[in-house]
Structure 1
Amino acid sequence: MDEHFEYFLEKMGPAFSKRHVPPTSIERFRGKLPKQLLEYWEEHGWCGYADGLFWTVDPQEYEPVLEAWIGDTPFMEKDVYHIIARSAFGELYFWGENTFESLKIFAPGSYCFSRKSMFQADQVEHGLRSFFGKRNRKENDFAALFAPALKRLGRLRHDEMYGFIPALALGGPSELSHLKRVKAVEHLVLLAQLAPLEVMTSPTLADG
């Protein structure tokens, strides 16, 4: 295990709710996603970390989410993207085949961060390891609601997330009492229909 993933596990805790990644999925994304990510999948599967705050996901399963959020945007003209991870609240991590870790969307707030990767084409594997090494609980814990949501609503399954009902885009408050356990893919697709995506930019990914 490389030092970046060891550091990731130190911060995020051991995996749970592991799903075996079939060889067909490995082959489907070979040459499209970093070899290092495919090796992580083979060893650890698609699973949850930090009690369900952060999840690695099957990009094919999340294709409807990707299409809903960026299917009709200039992002699709710039690169081919795949969703490789998400948070309990709908932070979506996209990996571009050519731009790497260049796009992150916070679905409940309908905004995204579009950044230029600090890594070059020959550094894709290091870039992927760095992606995991930079992840932490705070960036995924919207309004510090995860611990109370976990206590009140219980641990999420791999296909669930905590969603605000009514949605923030419809004026719903970002309060614990308005969080529900919802199906992740379906809820994320719904959120994409409620408000236009606001794009925020920064020069590089050096700051995470």
Structure 2
Amino acid sequence: MLHVFFKYVVEKHGTPDKSTPLNSHELQNIRQVFPENLVGFYQEYGRCVLRQGRLQMCHPMDLQKILKLVLKSDSDISHENSYAFAYFSFGDIYFYNNRYGCGSIELLTGKIFNNDLTSSAETSPLIGHTVFMPFSLSDESLDLTDHLGKALFKKATNKYGELNIGECFGFVPALGLGGEIRY
């Protein structure tokens, strides 16, 4: 059943632009790692493209190798109990950790963020509600700005077309190899 928050997201931003349902095996896997409110969204829409391509839902296994690579040496947030559920058009990954809730990985800058990990407060019993975070972001927050401070999403979609399920925009050469955030 679709959680009231996700009903609001669909009312505000429309149904996903593109979607592919999850099979029964994939749904069973996510029931073991995600809170029920997120599972309901997966049951309804599966892998999907939201907000004209700014945000995508993925199955946790789609990005598990990336989480393993990024989090393998992290003593607090392990890749063994962290699962990707969404990413934005320029690659930031949103994950759910069964101890600390929702976090994000900025692949372009190498930053990892998790509010419950850095907060002095005890982990909330409503930790499952943290999965709402990426869906609450504004269109501007789900964009990237170039070296001049100009938004890139519309420019990239005009030049390269709309993103399909499983795609995101990147830079050539990669930023880590000397590339720049330029259009």
TM-score normalized with structure 1 length = 0.74
- Deviation for aligned residue 1:77: 4.6
Q: How does 1:65-104 map to 2 (within 5 A)?
A: 65-77=66-78, 80-101=81-102, 103-104=103-104
Q: Is the 8 A contact 1:91 1:140 kept in 2?
A: no
**How far apart are 1:109 and its partner, in Å?**
1.6
Give 1:126 shift: 3.5
Give yes or no for contact 2:82–2:97 (8 Å, CA) kept in 1. yes
Deviation at 1:132, TM superposition (A): 5.3
Contact 1:88 1:161 survives alignment (8 Å): yes
- Offset of residue 53 of structure 1: 1.1
CA RMSD of aligned residues (A): 2.2
Looking at structure 2, the residues matched to 23 and 124 of structure 1 have their Cα atoms a distance apart, in angstroms, of 26
Structure 2 SS opposite 1:68: helix
Aligned with 2:104: secondary structure? strand
My pick for the range that moved more, 144-153 or 106-115, is 106-115
Q: Deviations over 1:108-138 (max 9, x none)?
A: 12122232177623x244443x435523322
Unpaired runs of at least 5, structure 2: 146-150
- Structure with more strand by fraction: 1
Structure 1 letter corresponding to 2:171: F
Q: TM-score, normalised by structure 2?
A: 0.83
- 1:120 paired residue among 119, 124, 130: 124
> Post-superposition shift, 1:30?
1.9
Kindly state the Cα deviation for residue 11 of structure 1 after the two structures are TM-superposed.
4.8
- Give the alignment partner of residue 134 of structure 1, picking from 114, 136, 139: 136
* Whole-Å separation in 2 of the counterparts to 1:95 and 1:160: 20
1:107: how far off? 0.5
Contact 1:79 1:98 in 2 (8 A): no
Quote the Cα distance in structure 1 between the aligned partners of 2:20 and 2:67.
21
Q: 1:10 to 1:173 in 2, by over 3 A?
A: farther
Query: How far has the Cα of 1:51 moved from its partner?
Result: 1.5
Q: For each residue in 1:34-55, what CA deviation from the matched residue of structure 2 results, as whole angstroms up to 9, or x when unmatched?
A: 0111111111111001221100
Does the 8 Å contact 2:71/2:79 carry over to 1? no
8 Å contact 1:8–1:136 — kept in the other structure? Answer: no
Aligned length, in residue pairs: 173
Q: Aligned match of 1:173 in 164, 171, 180?
A: 180
SS of residue matched to 2:69 = helix
Q: Is the 8 A contact 1:30 1:38 kept in 2?
A: yes
For residue 85 of structure 1, give the secondary structure of its aligned residue in structure 2. Answer: strand
Classify 1:104/1:125 alpha carbon distance in 2 versus 1 (closer, same or farther; 3 Å). closer
Shift in CA distance, 105/132, structure 1 to aligned 2, threshold 3 Å: closer
Gap regions ≥5 residues in structure 1: 177-208
Residue 8 of structure 2 is matched in structure 1 by: 7
Contact 1:12 1:136 in 2 (8 A): no
